Amino acid sequence: MKKKYQEADDKLKAQILDQIPAPVMAVNKELIVIYMNEAGKKLIKRSAEDIIGIACKDIICTDQCGTDDCAMLKAMKSGKTYASRTEATLGGQTIPLEFSAVPLVDDSGEIIGGLEFVLDITERVLYENRLKEQNHTIREMSTPTIKLWEGVMVLPVVGVVDSMRAQHMMESMLTKIAETYAKVIILDIHGVAAVDTAVANHLIKITKATKLMGCDCILSGISPAVAQTIIQLGIDMEAINTRATLSDALTEAFLMLNLEVNKKKQ
Amino acid sequence: MGEDYNTSVTVIKNNLIVALPAEMTDSCIQNIEKIIIEKTYQKNIQGVLLNFSMVSVMDTYTYQAFEHITRVFSLMGIQTIWVGLNPGVIFGLIDLDVAINTKIKMAINLEIGLTLLN
């Protein structure tokens, strides 16, 4: 059968290797560089004479270089592929890199060195960090514990309560109680659309935790629909002090603290 | 008296203040229990403050042991208040799903605990 397309010859293959936008580097068994493609030369800003014959740890400086953690050594020893992330220092700059190290074998199948394929992931790391920051901000925003009165804190909850968020709520509440010595904390679930068994369980856990800190927890903002669902689901909320609105809860808190609100006499 | 009994017990105005150590072994808790119950009986104590502020680790057994002590005291007509449980310790207890007795009185610090006693 006649082939329609001919495979690239050796010269073209070398050119292809040079045109890959990611750096590719090969070393011999002594970790001396024997090959570097164009992208690699560009990344480290050195010419071929300056690279070939030099130990690879002197060209790309990472924390793993020269230690037993060297992926190239591991790959050569085990004959398997190693992929990992690291940071390399190149010309005073630290660049996050992702690399795969594979053993280099000759025709007879004997390992004669190692091959490394590197990706510059500066942008990706930047995005990841930004995402982490945003997650953190959202988490902080979603669990604000506010001082309402001397010894009274309120935590308004809006949105969906999952176990992660419940954990954060608890964390935020307990640290605030420890800081302010609050005696009553009001958990306002007015903004929580649906309360199921899991959410109710989280809420019960939170009230127990605050109780252990010597702080009473009042659950407020229970709408008629939510109250009905809780009863329909057969959840036992007897252990929790519950109120319909935030103002009812505040009145209850005043009662607990032996405070009285009076109208000013004319 | 056991060797690992390293708890300070102070009496102020018929109240017993027990500062519990950071880490307690099972035998240590038993020693503490024995000693404070003896002391409350001898010295006509009316209230006990268990200060947990130094406690860094608490497991189900420790919790139950102190709940047991609290129940013993309540049988003797003595009020017991738990004081200064750390947020970290509480996380642990909640994570372990410990059945928490909400009837026990808790306070955030000694001052509030003392006012609760009076």
DSSP one-letter string for chain B:
--TT---EEEEETTEEEEE--S---HHHHHHHHHHHHHHHHHTT--EEEEE-TT-----HHHHHHHHHHHHHHHHTT-EEEEE---HHHHHHHHHTT----TTSEEESSHHHHHHHH-
Listed by number, the residues of chain B in 84-103 with a beta carbon closer than 8 Å to a beta carbon of chain A are 85-87, 90-91, 93-94, 100, 102
Give the span between the Cα atoms of A39 and A25, in whole angstroms: 10
The boundaries of every CATH 3.30.450.20 domain in chain A are 10-125
B95, part of any domain:
yes
Edge-to-edge, what's the strand order for the sheet holding A241-242? A146-149, A152-158, A184-191, A216-220, A241-242
Tell me the shortest Cα–Cα distance from B63 to chain A, in angstroms.
11
Most A CBs within 10 Å, among B94, B96, B110, to test the A interface:
B94
3-state class (DSSP) for residue A130: helix
Least confident interval from A69-73, B10-14, B35-39, B98-102 = A69-73
B3, part of any domain:
no
Please, are residues A88 and A56 in contact by the beta-carbon 8 Å criterion?
no
Chain-chain contact of B87 with A239 (C-beta, under 8 angstroms): no
Query: pLDDT digit string (tens) for A29-76?
Result: 888 888 888 888 887 777 777 778 888 777 777 777 777 778 788 888
CATH level 2 (architecture), domain A143-256: 2-Layer Sandwich (3.30)
The CATH number given to whatever domain includes residue B33 is 3.30.750.24
Tell me the shortest Cα–Cα distance from B36 to chain A, in angstroms.
22
Chain-chain contact of A174 with B106 (C-beta, under 8 angstroms): no
Looking at the 3D structure of chain B, how many domains does it have?
Answer: 1
Q: Does domain A10-125 have CATH number 3.40.50.300?
A: no
Task: State chain A's mean pLDDT as an integer.
Answer: 85
B69, part of any domain:
yes
Question: What does the pLDDT read at residue A143?
Answer: 78
Which tokens sit at B40? 């409350």
Count Cβ–Cβ pairs < 8 Å, chain A vs chain B: 50
B48, part of any domain:
yes
Closest CA to A209 of A194, A234, A191, A187: A187
The parent domain of residue B104 ranges over 8-117
Stretch (H or E) spanning A213: none
Phi, psi for A40 (deg, rounded to 5): -65, -45
Query: pLDDT digit string (tens) for A138-194?
Result: 877 777 888 998 889 999 988 888 888 888 888 888 888 888 989 999 999 988 888
The boundaries of every CATH 3.30.750.24 domain in chain A are 143-256
Query: pLDDT digit string (tens) for B19-76?
Result: 998 888 888 888 888 888 888 888 888 899 999 999 988 889 999 999 999 999 988 8
Least confident interval from A38-42, A61-65, A195-199, B86-90 = A61-65
B98, part of any domain:
yes
B65, part of any domain:
yes
B2, part of any domain:
no
Q: Whole-model pTM? A: 0.62
